[in-house]
């Protein structure tokens, strides 16, 4: 009998240990930090996922936009949050694969201070110009940019973003010289284009393509290696400039130290969300492709992107800070 009771006791202790390692989630409001302004692609995907998770768990999932410094302000805030699964970060290729090599003395470590959860979406950037620019094709634009050094202004949602580096990579490959005008969000870029404050942008298709369809801007090329299913008539930059690839992507992270059980739960939840027909339809409307991954797959993908963009940053010679 004593042995039986002892065995039962050990079993209960084991169950308790498992429960301690796998805490119930969520227990309260979940704050989802978006380190960019409202209305951009990253913000839109964050809201899609947050709405679906809130509906499933019956707990508030609140989007907190904290733009600034190319996404670093919001990213740092997320890195310092309590690692219990109640603060998440929707970051991008910029925050986790570009900024670590672009900025000196960051107050966070994009690799060590976070646990990758899953990818959300991939999308090409779209080169759009103000209709006053006298070009109709990408090849014509290349010639025009080279013939007018320093006269063209291009917008991005901040130094080091995929939009910024796409333009820098364009200049590197063509020898063209343009002036960078940073904004706080993709919507601000579009407003700048329509208002004539900038001449062009390699902007997210989610925002730029509807404007191009409406005629307020002119679309010339996509920055992915393949044409976009949403705009198959628009050529790729790579069709003219061999090897050009500047695909944008976003994903979900938790602060380092967040229990793996919570990370795995969120990854599985998000995968199910991104596979829903209505979400797939919404993603297509946003000119993007859902990209759910396991935490391990996402971590590996981030590493490959870090290697690529670190080389671009070094080659172009961009660095911010002292």
Q: Please, which residues have CB within 8 angstroms of residue 148's CB and are 6 or more apart in sequence?
A: none
Is the Cβ–Cβ distance between 179 and 152 less than 8 Å?
A: yes
3-state secondary structure (DSSP) of residue 310? helix
d(CA 297, CA 265): 15
Tell which phi-psi region holds residue 69, choosing left (phi > 0), alpha (psi between -120 and 50) or beta.
left
Q: What is the pLDDT of residue 263?
A: 98
- Residue in 72, 62, 61, 60 with CA at minimum distance from that of residue 36: 72
- Residue in 192, 203, 198, 32 with CA at minimum distance from that of residue 120: 32
Q: What is the pLDDT of residue 284?
A: 87
Q: What is the pLDDT of residue 287?
A: 81
For residue 79, report the phi and psi dihedrals to the nearest 5 degrees. -60, -30
Radius of gyration of the chain from its Cα atoms, rounded to whole angstroms: 22
d(CA 75, CA 319): 18
- Residue in 237, 216, 49 with CA at minimum distance from that of residue 125: 237
Q: What is the pLDDT of residue 54?
A: 98
Give the mean pLDDT per block of 10 residues along the chain (322 residues): 44 41 83 92 93 97 93 96 98 93 93 98 93 96 97 88 88 93 88 94 88 95 90 95 90 98 98 96 87 97 92 84 62
Neighbours of 13 (CB within 10 A): 10
Q: What is the pLDDT of residue 14?
A: 44
d(CA 66, CA 33): 7
Token readout for 208 is: 């730029």
Global model pTM greater than 0.75: yes
Q: Please, which residues have CB within 8 angstroms of residue 206's CB and are 6 or more apart in sequence?
A: 40, 41, 44, 123, 186, 286, 287, 288
- Strand pairing category for 289-290 and 114-129: antiparallel
The DSSP annotation for 151-201 comes to: T-EEEESSTTSHHHHHHHHHHHHH----EEEE-SSHHHHHHHHHTTS-SEE
């Amino acid at each position: 009998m004593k042995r039986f009771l002892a065995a039962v006791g050990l079993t209960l202790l084991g169950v308790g240990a498992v429960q301690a390692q796998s805490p119930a989630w969520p227990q309260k409001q979940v704050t989802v930090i978006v380190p960019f302004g409202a209305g951009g692609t990253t913000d839109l995907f964050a809201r899609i996922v947050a709405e679906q998770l809130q509906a499933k768990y019956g707990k508030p999932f609140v989007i907190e936009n904290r733009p600034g410094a190319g996404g670093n302000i919001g990213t740092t805030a997320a890195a310092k949050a309590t690692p219990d699964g109640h603060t998440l970060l929707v970051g991008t290729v910029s925050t986790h694969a570009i900024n670590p090599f672009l900025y000196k003395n960051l107050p966070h470590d994009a690799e060590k201070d976070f646990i990758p959860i899953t990818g959300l979406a991939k999308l090409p950037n779209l080169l759009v110009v103000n209709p006053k620019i006298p070009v109709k094709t990408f090849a014509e634009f290349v010639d025009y940019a080279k013939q007018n050094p320093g006269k063209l202004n291009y917008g991005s949602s901040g130094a080091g973003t995929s939009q910024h580096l796409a333009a820098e990579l364009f200049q590197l490959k063509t020898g063209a010289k343009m002036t960078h005008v940073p904004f706080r969000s993709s919507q601000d870029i579009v407003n700048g284009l329509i208002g004539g404050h900038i001449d062009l942008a390699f902007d997210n298709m989610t925002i730029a393509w509807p404007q191009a369809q409406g005629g307020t801007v002119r679309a010339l090329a996509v920055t992915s290696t393949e044409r976009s299913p949403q705009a198959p008539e628009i050529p790729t930059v790579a069709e003219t400039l061999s090897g050009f690839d500047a695909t944008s992507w976003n994903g979900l992270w938790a602060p380092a130290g967040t229990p793996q059980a919570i990370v795995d739960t969120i990854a599985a939840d998000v995968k199910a969300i991104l596979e829903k027909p209505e979400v797939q339809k919404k993603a297509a409307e946003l000119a993007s492709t859902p990209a759910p991954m396991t935490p391990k797959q996402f971590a590996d993908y981030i590493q490959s992107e870090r290697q690529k963009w670190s080389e671009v940053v070094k080659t172009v010679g961009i660095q911010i800070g002292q």
